[in-house]
A and B are shown apart, each in its own frame.
Chain A
Amino acid sequence: MSLSGKRILIAKPGLDGHDVGAKVIALALRDAGAEVIYTGLRKAPDFIASVAVEEDVDAVGLSILSGSHLDLVAETSRQLLALDGGAIPLFVGGTIPADDHAALAEAGAKGIFTADMKIEDVVAAIDAVLS
Chain B
Amino acid sequence: MTDSAPTAPNMPSSVTPSGIEIPQVVTADMVESDPGLPGEYPFTRGIFPNGYRGRLWTIRQYSGFGSAEETNQRYRFLLDQGQTGLSVALDLPTQCGYDPTDAMARSEVGKVGVSIATLADMEVLFDGIDLSAISTSFTINGTAPMIYAMYLAAADKLGVPRESLTGTIQNDILKEYVARGTWIFPVRPSLRLIADSILFSNEATPRFNPISIAGAHVRDAGSTAVEEMGFTLANGLAYVDEMLRRGGDVNHFAKRLSFFFYVHMDFFEEVCKFRAGRRVWARLLQERYGVTDPKALMFRFGVVCGGSSLTAAQPYNNIVRVGIENMAAVLGGAQSIFTCAYDEAYQIPTEFSAETALRTQQMVAYESGISKTVDPLGGSYYVEYLTDRMDAEITKVIAEIEDYGGAEKAIEDGYLQSRIAQRALERKLQTDAGERVVVGQNHFRREDEDANDFGEVFKLDEKAAGHTVERFNKVRAERDNGKAQQALAKLSQAAAGDAENLIPHMIDCCHAYVSIGEMVGALKEHWGEFQEPVGL
Residue among B92, B176, B312, B532 making CB contact with A66, cutoff 8 Å: B92
Q: Is B313 an interface residue (CB 8 A)?
A: yes
**Chain B interface helix/strand/loop/mixed:** loop
Q: Contacts A15-B95, A118-B1 hold; do A71 and B107 have CB atoms under 8 A apart?
A: yes
Which chain B residues in 1-37 approach chain A with CB under 8 Å? Answer: 1
The reply to whether A24 and B312 contact each other, CB–CB distance below 8 Å, is: no
- Which residues of chain B are near A23, meaning CB under 8 Å? 421, 424-425, 536
- Which residues of chain A are near B477, meaning CB under 8 Å? none
Residue among A14, A28, A38, A114 making CB contact with B106, cutoff 8 Å: A14
Number of residues on chain A facing chain B (CB within 8 A)? 36
Q: Contacts A17-B176, A20-B222, A24-B425 hold; do A95 and B92 have CB atoms under 8 A apart?
A: no
- Which residues of chain B are near A14, meaning CB under 8 Å? 92, 106-108
A42 to B182, CA, bound (A): 9
Q: Is A3 an interface residue (CB 8 A)?
A: no
Chain A residue at smallest Cβ distance from B142: A17
A30 to chain B minimum Cβ distance, whole angstroms, is: 7
A20 to B96, CA, bound (A): 19
A24 to chain B minimum Cβ distance, whole angstroms, is: 5
**Contact string against B for A residues 31-44, beta-carbon threshold 8 Å, 1 for contact and 0 otherwise:** 00000101111101
Which chain B residues in 345-366 approach chain A with CB under 8 Å? Answer: 345-347
Chain B residue at smallest Cβ distance from A15: B92
Q: Contacts A27-B425, A116-B312 hold; do A72 and B536 have CB atoms under 8 A apart?
A: no
Q: Contacts A39-B534, A67-B112 hold; do A116 and B441 have CB atoms under 8 A apart?
A: yes
The reply to whether B107 and A95 contact each other, CB–CB distance below 8 Å, is: no
Chain A residue at smallest Cβ distance from B94: A15
Q: Contacts A95-B346, A116-B312, A119-B432 hold; do A30 and B108 have CB atoms under 8 A apart?
A: no
- Which residues of chain A are near B425, meaning CB under 8 Å? 23-24, 27-28, 119
Q: Is B93 an interface residue (CB 8 A)?
A: yes
A93 to chain B minimum Cβ distance, whole angstroms, is: 12
Q: Contacts A42-B104, A120-B432 hold; do A17 and B181 have CB atoms under 8 A apart?
A: yes
- Which residues of chain A are near B368, meaning CB under 8 Å? none
Chain A residue at smallest Cβ distance from B181: A17
The reply to whether B181 and A18 contact each other, CB–CB distance below 8 Å, is: yes
A130 to chain B minimum Cβ distance, whole angstroms, is: 20
B444 to chain A minimum Cβ distance, whole angstroms, is: 14
**Contact string against A for B residues 271-314, beta-carbon threshold 8 Å, 1 for contact and 0 otherwise:** 00000000000000000000000000000000000000001110
Residue among A20, A26, A38, A115 making CB contact with B312, cutoff 8 Å: A115
The reply to whether A119 and B532 contact each other, CB–CB distance below 8 Å, is: no
**Contact string against A for B residues 199-237, beta-carbon threshold 8 Å, 1 for contact and 0 otherwise:** 000000000000000000000111000000000000000
Residue among B98, B311, B346, B536 making CB contact with A38, cutoff 8 Å: B536
Q: Is A97 an interface residue (CB 8 A)?
A: yes
Which chain B residues in 53-111 approach chain A with CB under 8 Å? Answer: 92-93, 95-96, 98, 103-108, 111
- Which residues of chain B are near A15, meaning CB under 8 Å? 92-93, 95-96, 98, 104-105, 108, 182
Q: Is A4 an interface residue (CB 8 A)?
A: no
Residue among B1, B98, B536 making CB contact with A36, cutoff 8 Å: B536
Q: Is B428 an interface residue (CB 8 A)?
A: yes
Q: Is B422 an interface residue (CB 8 A)?
A: yes
- Which residues of chain B are near A20, meaning CB under 8 Å? 179, 220-222, 420-421, 424
The reply to whether A24 and B104 contact each other, CB–CB distance below 8 Å, is: no
Q: Is A58 an interface residue (CB 8 A)?
A: no
A20 to B429, CA, bound (A): 14
The reply to whether B534 and A40 contact each other, CB–CB distance below 8 Å, is: yes
The reply to whether A119 and B454 contact each other, CB–CB distance below 8 Å, is: no
Q: Contacts A24-B424, A66-B111, A71-B107 hold; do A118 and B432 have CB atoms under 8 A apart?
A: yes
Q: Is B451 an interface residue (CB 8 A)?
A: yes
B218 to chain A minimum Cβ distance, whole angstroms, is: 10
A95 to B529, CA, bound (A): 28
Chain A residue at smallest Cβ distance from B535: A38
A116 to B441, CA, bound (A): 7
Q: Is B180 an interface residue (CB 8 A)?
A: yes
A66 to chain B minimum Cβ distance, whole angstroms, is: 5
A55 to B345, CA, bound (A): 35
B316 to chain A minimum Cβ distance, whole angstroms, is: 16
Q: Is A16 an interface residue (CB 8 A)?
A: yes
The reply to whether A97 and B104 contact each other, CB–CB distance below 8 Å, is: no
Which chain A residues in 94-131 approach chain B with CB under 8 Å? Answer: 95, 97-99, 114-116, 118-120
The reply to whether A44 and B111 contact each other, CB–CB distance below 8 Å, is: no
Residue among B108, B222, B347, B429 making CB contact with A97, cutoff 8 Å: B347
Residue among A41, A115, A116, A120 making CB contact with B181, cutoff 8 Å: A41
- Which residues of chain A are near B180, meaning CB under 8 Å? 17-18
Residue among B1, B103, B181 making CB contact with A19, cutoff 8 Å: B181
**Contact string against B for A residues 6-18, beta-carbon threshold 8 Å, 1 for contact and 0 otherwise:** 0000000011111
The reply to whether B534 and A38 contact each other, CB–CB distance below 8 Å, is: yes
- Which residues of chain B are near A95, meaning CB under 8 Å? 345-346
Q: Is A2 an interface residue (CB 8 A)?
A: no
Chain A residue at smallest Cβ distance from B221: A20
- Which residues of chain A are near B96, meaning CB under 8 Å? 15, 42
The 16 listed contacts between A and B (C-beta, < 8 Å) are: A14-B107, A15-B105, A17-B92, A23-B424, A24-B421, A27-B421, A38-B536, A39-B534, A41-B532, A66-B112, A68-B107, A71-B106, A97-B347, A116-B311, A116-B441, A119-B432
Which 7 residue pairs are nearest across A and B when measured between Cβ atoms?
Answer: A17-B181, A98-B452, A15-B92, A23-B421, A71-B107, A40-B534, A118-B432
